[in-house]
Amino acid sequence: LTPIVLYHYRDELRVMSHTDRLMAVFAGFWMCLHFSLIALSLENTRIAVTQVLVNTSPLIVAILETVFLKARLPRIVWIGLFMAILGSAVIGADGFLSTESILLAAPENLGLAATDTGNPTLGVIFALVSAGAAALYLVTGRKARGTVSLIPYLWILTGAGTVTGIAILLLTATPAFGHSTEAYFWLMMLAFGPQLITHSGINYAVAYLPATIVT
């Protein structure tokens, strides 16, 4: 993104307000924390449990958007949110309490079996905090995207996320080098697919729709 931003968006960066710049940086921090906590959760519990709990973020977004951004959400949205959260709670509790859950017991090659090591309770906590971080990332982004165009916003967002990620690697003494070629391949796929394409789409949408609807 850097060559594109420096060539096409230098004027916008120059006139961008300090508040908008700070909002984009904070959003990048929360985004990185969200992904990092997902990784920590996956070390301790099943993918399905992590995903169900992380997907409670729309309810947190709705609360934050209503309280801080003064958004007015239709009643049908709140009904849908609570139905989704209730369903997540049922599935999550089933996977957490049962060692051989009908809903979650799956072939090893699907990656849904319980991990051999780790603390399931800790995995649940990491997933829930990750949901909160995701909510803060999107609500902050919603505020910033009202005045900042997509590409400069993504540049600041992912730049701040990169700095945060490096800090986490250093603080946890996690090596960034020496992994297998296959590992780096899948990391690149994550960066170009879910991150650059999907999350760019999400950050495009929050400029035009309430963050609750986007989540």
First to last CA, the chain: 25
Q: Dihedral, CA atoms, 110, 111, 114, 116, nearest 10 degrees? A: 130
- pLDDT per position in the chain (215 positions), as tens? 999 999 999 999 999 999 999 999 999 999 999 999 999 999 898 888 888 889 889 889 998 888 887 888 888 888 988 887 787 777 766 655 554 444 444 434 444 444 556 788 899 899 999 999 999 999 999 989 989 999 999 999 999 999 999 999 999 899 999 999 999 999 999 989 988 899 999 999 999 988 888 88
pLDDT score of 120:
86
Instruction: Using alpha carbons, select from 160, 162, 180 the residue that is nearest to residue 22.
Output: 160
Residue 69 CA to residue 23 CA, distance in Å, equals 14
pLDDT score of 100:
47
pLDDT score of 115:
52
Q: What is the 3-state secondary structure (H, E, C) of the chain?
A: CHHHHHHHCHHHHHHCCHHHHHHHHHHHHHHHHHHHHHHHHHCCCCHHHHHHHHCCHHHHHHHHHHHHCCCCCCHHHHHHHHHHHHHHHHHHHHHHHCCCCCCCCCCHHHCCCCCCCCCHHHHHHHHHHHHHHHHHHHHHHHHHCCCCCHHHHHHHHHHHHHHHHHHHHHHHCCCCCCCCHHHHHHHHHHHHHHHHHHHHHHHHHCCCCCHHHHC
pLDDT score of 108:
44
pTM beyond 0.85: the answer is no
